[in-house]
Structure 1
Amino acid sequence: MAKQQVSRDTPLAELTLRRYERPFDLKKRELVKKLCLSLGLLNPGDSRDVIVDVLVVILESRKTGQPLTSGEITEKVVQSRKQEKLKLLGIAHSNIRRQISRLRKLYLVEKSKNRYRIAENGMLLEAFAEKVQDFVLPAIVNRVRDYLRQVDDEFS
């Protein structure tokens, strides 16, 4: 009996965007949580929202201009979650590194000499506009158009 071929459809790029109400009168953590939801970094109803704290910690470090190691980020995330009286879910160092990696894939955070900071120590809006809006999104939309065109041709 011949082995059955398993199809692996691995995307070249992936982007999830959600639209929420305009930000109004939100505390810092809630504001960052809505941003994470909007960017697809967090799904609605997720109880494990440590990525929110990771991003808050990295954003706070921008004030000092000092990039942080993953260990420092982990420590600050634990402190922050305790201070906010949140469950200490997802605070394992390996998970924090995974969340940092997710932020890097979206070009919001960059790594330099094993330290992490907001891309080019700049503003998130600039990083999003330069990398995602101007580069990733058009590439994805163009490829989807290619598939739409091909499907239309096949089924016409």
Structure 2
Amino acid sequence: MKKVSRDTPLSELTLRKYEKPGNVRDRELAKKICLSLGLLQPGDSRDVVTDVLLVLLKAKQKKEWLTSSEIEGRVISSRKRYRAQLAGIASSNIRRQIKRIRALLLVEKLKNHYRIVEFDSLRKLFAEKVELFLLNSILSRVNEYLDEADKVFSAKRKKKKKR
């Protein structure tokens, strides 16, 4: 039986470059980080992931571990404070956004409590987790595909004879 190839990625990473940060408010900075890391799409009105990250960053300042319900409550307060729509604030969606940030290895979970990994700096976490781990593994696999394409499509490759 012939093996069916699946086009489901094992891992994916989206990175975007924006203008240098100037004097921006905390929520705008969190939004640019989400956009830069591919957590948020440009022009997306459902930006609750911005508030989830913002809440976790503010908790990091106080070295607080938060449950998903505490994050949810603070996200609602944050969205009211910044006059953002209260769309996407269902607890299931908040948990999904936490999971997306965890997939970038920036947030950890212990006994249903979350925090920015070891209350460390985002720059250090990005360098250690995203650049060295996620990005390198993706680049390595892309290079394997490119090497294979070079072999398959090289000028010296002999063509099979048709019978």
- CA displacement 1:42-96 (0-9 Å, x = unmatched): 0101000000000000111112211100000000100110111111011000000
Q: Distance in 2 between matches of 1:100 and 1:136?
A: 18
State the match for 2:113 in structure 1: 115
Match of residue 86, structure 2, among 85, 88, 95: 88
Q: Distance in 2 between matches of 1:99 and 1:7?
A: 30
State the match for 1:144 in structure 2: 142
State the match for 1:27 in structure 2: 25
Structure 1 counterpart SS, 2:115: strand
State the match for 1:103 in structure 2: 101
State the match for 2:43 in structure 1: 45
- CA displacement 1:115-143 (0-9 Å, x = unmatched): 00001111111111111111111111111
Percent identity between matched residues is: 58
Match of residue 14, structure 2, among 13, 16, 40: 16
- Higher CA-based Rg: 2
State the match for 2:66 in structure 1: 68
Q: Distance in 1 between matches of 2:81 and 2:17?
A: 30
State the match for 1:57 in structure 2: 55
Q: Distance in 2 between matches of 1:7 and 1:87?
A: 42
Which stretches in structure 1 are left out of the alignment for 5+ residues? Answer: none
Which stretches in structure 2 are left out of the alignment for 5+ residues? Answer: 155-163
- Residues paired across the two proteins, number: 152
Using structure 1 for the length normalisation, give the TM-score: 0.93
Q: Given residue 64 of structure 2, which amino acid in structure 1 is its aligned partner? A: Q
Q: Given residue 73 of structure 2, which amino acid in structure 1 is its aligned partner? A: E
By how many angstroms is 1:155 displaced?
1.6
Coordinate RMSD, CA, aligned: 1.3
Q: Distance in 1 between matches of 2:4 and 2:32?
A: 37
Q: Distance in 2 between matches of 1:66 and 1:21?
A: 31
By how many angstroms is 1:26 displaced?
0.9
By how many angstroms is 1:7 displaced?
4.9
By how many angstroms is 1:12 displaced?
1.5
- Between 1:145-154 and 1:93-102, the stretch displaced more is 145-154
